[in-house]
Amino acid sequence: MKVRRSQPARFGLLILAALWLFVLVPMSAKAAPYAAYVIDARTGEVLHSRNADTRLHPASLTKMMTLYIAFQAIERGEISLDTKVTISRHAASEPPSKLGLRPGQKIALRYLVRAAAVKSANDAATAIGEAISGSEAKFARRMNRTAKQIGMTRTTFKNAHGLTEEGHLSTAHDMTLMGRHLLYDFPEYYNLFSRITADAGIKKVNHTNRRFLNSYKGADGIKTGYTRAAGFNLTASAERGNERIIVTVFGGQSTASRNAKVAELMDLGFRRAPSNAPLRKPEEPAYVAEASPSGTTSPGAKGKTIRLVRAVKTSWRPHLRPQTSEPVAVAAAPTSPDPMTALLNSAINDAVAEAVNAPTPTPAPSQPVAAAADVVLASAATSTTIRPTLRPKGLVVIGAQPKTAKEPQPQEVVTRVSTSGGRQWGVNVGRFGSHYAAEKVLIKTALAEMATLDGSLRKVVRKPQGFDANFLGMTRETADLACRRLQARSVSCIMIGPG
C-alpha cells in the first residue's frame, strides 16, 4: 500500500534540503585552513612543518607581539609597570574577550599586561598599544617594524589584539618564531604565560589555555587565539628535562581537538629532539624607536635613549706632559704586590676585557675619551729619582718634639655601612668553592654594575656548601633594582632580606 506524503511534509523536506545545500555545505567549505610548525626551542631546528608559510588569521596570537613590545618598552624606560594608563573610549569599546575597562578609567600597566597575557583581553591589549605609541595605528606600525627585526617576513599587523581585520595576517612559522623570542628575550616575564589565574586589578582572571597547561606534562605557555575566520589557534611551549619544544597550530576545529593536535605534535617533537643540544638563543632584535608615518624617526617620539655604561674600543690618548728642566721623581713600584692588589688587578682586567669585547660605537675624534686603563704614566726609564741630601749635623728644627716624648699612636678608624634608613637589604651573586673566587666575582660585579652597587658592602660569607658572595647595606628598592639589572646581564642574583 502506497503512503502519500502530505503537502506540509514535502515542504519541510524541501526546506531541510535547501538548508543543507546553501548553508551547511558552504560553512564546511569555509573552515579555517590548517597549519602547524614544530621546533626545538634550544636550537631553532625544525622538527615538523605543514602549511607553515601560509598567511592566515593569527587571532589573539597577535598579543604575543603586543606584550613583547610592552616588555621592550619597560626595559628601555619608555614606560613602567606602575604607570597609570588612562583608558580611551576606543579601547573600552573593543569586543570580548575583554577585562571590562571603562572610558576614563586609570589602571596600572602591570594589570593590563596580566589581562592581555592570561585572559587575552582585547580592551587591555588596545590600551597597552595606545599607552606606548599614542594610538593603535602607530602601535601597529611599530609591531610591523619589530616583526621585520625578528625575521617574521610574512606577517602584517593591523591592530594590537588580533580581531579579524583585512590584511592582518601571519603564519605558523612566524608565530613560532615570536614565541621563541618571548621565551629567551624576556625570561623574567615569561612566567605570565603559565599562570592559571592572575590579579588584573579590577578582578581576578583565568587563563584561556588552562586546559592544556593542566593536562600536558611540562607545558608552561604561551598563547591561545580564536576568531571565526582563524579557527582555534595555539602557540604552546613545554619543557622536559633538557629538552624544550615550541608548537604552533592554526585552524583547529575546537578547543579540545586543537589541544589534542598540539599534544600530538609536542610528543612528536620530544621524540625527534636530541636529549642534549647546545642552547643557541635567538639574536635579540635591534631596538626600534617610534617613527613617523613616512618611516623616519620622529623627533617627538616617546621612547627614551638609555645610556649604557661600557668601555670604548678606541681611546684617544692625551699628549705627554712637556718635559721640564728638573727631573720628576717617580716612586718605584713594589716588586711583589699584596694578594688583595693582585685580586683587584685580576678582576679589573677581566672586566675591561669583557667590556672591550662588547660591541659599542667608536667615539668621535672631536670628543676624545681616555679609559681608566689608558692613563699615561711617566716612564721610570726616562725619569731620575732625586734623593734628598742628608740634614746637617747639629741643626736645630723649631717645633721638633724631644726624643723622649712619646710618639702619638695612630687612631684606628672602623668603617661600616649604616643600616639606618632601611639599608638592611642585600643581594647574593653566587656561591663559590673558595674565598678568593667569591671575592673576585664581587669586585668584577661591582665594576660592571656601579650604578646600583656603589656604596654597598662587599662581603664573603662562609657556608658549609661554599663561600657566598654578597653585597650588603642596601635599601630594598636598590637591592631589587640591582638584581633586575644583574639578571638582565645573565648574572645570577638573589635578594637578601633583613636578619
CATH for 452: 3.30.70.1070
Q: How far is CA 302 from CA 70, 123, 305, in A?
A: 13, 22, 10
pLDDT of residue 242: 92
- Residue with the larger pLDDT of the pair 421 and 222: 222
Question: Is 260 within the bounds of a domain?
Answer: yes
pLDDT band at residue 154, thresholds of 50, 70 and 90? Answer: very high
CA distance 95 to 389: 93
Q: Is the pTM of this model over 0.95?
A: no
In tens, the pLDDT along 57-73 reads: 999 999 999 999 999 99
> Residue 474's domain spans which residues?
420-496
Which positions are annotated as active-site residues? 60, 63, 120
Q: How far is CA 461 from CA 26, 438, 470, in A?
A: 73, 9, 7
Q: Give the orientation angle of helix 435-448 with respect to helix 339-357, to 10 degrees.
A: 50
Domain boundary among 239, 272, 305: 272
- List the one residue out of 200, 220, 217 whose CA is nearest residue 100: 200
Cell 645610556 identifies what position?
A: 307
pLDDT of residue 272: 96
pLDDT band at residue 179, thresholds of 50, 70 and 90? Answer: very high
Question: Is 385 within the bounds of a domain?
Answer: no
Question: Is 319 within the bounds of a domain?
Answer: no
pLDDT band at residue 189, thresholds of 50, 70 and 90? Answer: very high
- Asked if residues 378 and 328 have their Cβ atoms less than 8 Å apart, the reply is yes
Question: Is 191 within the bounds of a domain?
Answer: yes
Query: Which has the minimum average pLDDT: 19-33, 109-123, 217-231?
Result: 19-33
- The CATH number of the domain where 124 resides is what? 3.40.710.10
Domain boundary among 247, 272, 297: 272
- List the one residue out of 70, 69, 75, 99 whose CA is nearest residue 87: 99
Question: Is 327 within the bounds of a domain?
Answer: no
Question: Is 316 within the bounds of a domain?
Answer: no
CA distance 106 to 90: 14
Instruction: Tell me the average pLDDT of the chain.
Output: 80
- List the one residue out of 133, 245, 114 whose CA is nearest residue 192: 114
Does 328 score more than 70 pLDDT?
no
- List the one residue out of 240, 267, 282, 219 whose CA is nearest residue 43: 282
- Asked if residues 101 and 125 have their Cβ atoms less than 8 Å apart, the reply is no
Domain boundary among 252, 272, 292: 272
Question: Is 117 within the bounds of a domain?
Answer: yes
* Residue 134 falls in which region: left (phi positive, over 0), alpha (psi -120 to 50) or beta: left
Does 27 score more than 70 pLDDT?
no
Number of alpha helices (DSSP H) and beta strands (DSSP E) in the chain: 14, 13
β partners of residue 238: 219, 245
Question: Is 278 within the bounds of a domain?
Answer: no
Domain count, the chain: 2
pLDDT of residue 316: 61
Q: Which residues contact 241 (CB under 8 A, 6 or more apart)?
A: 275
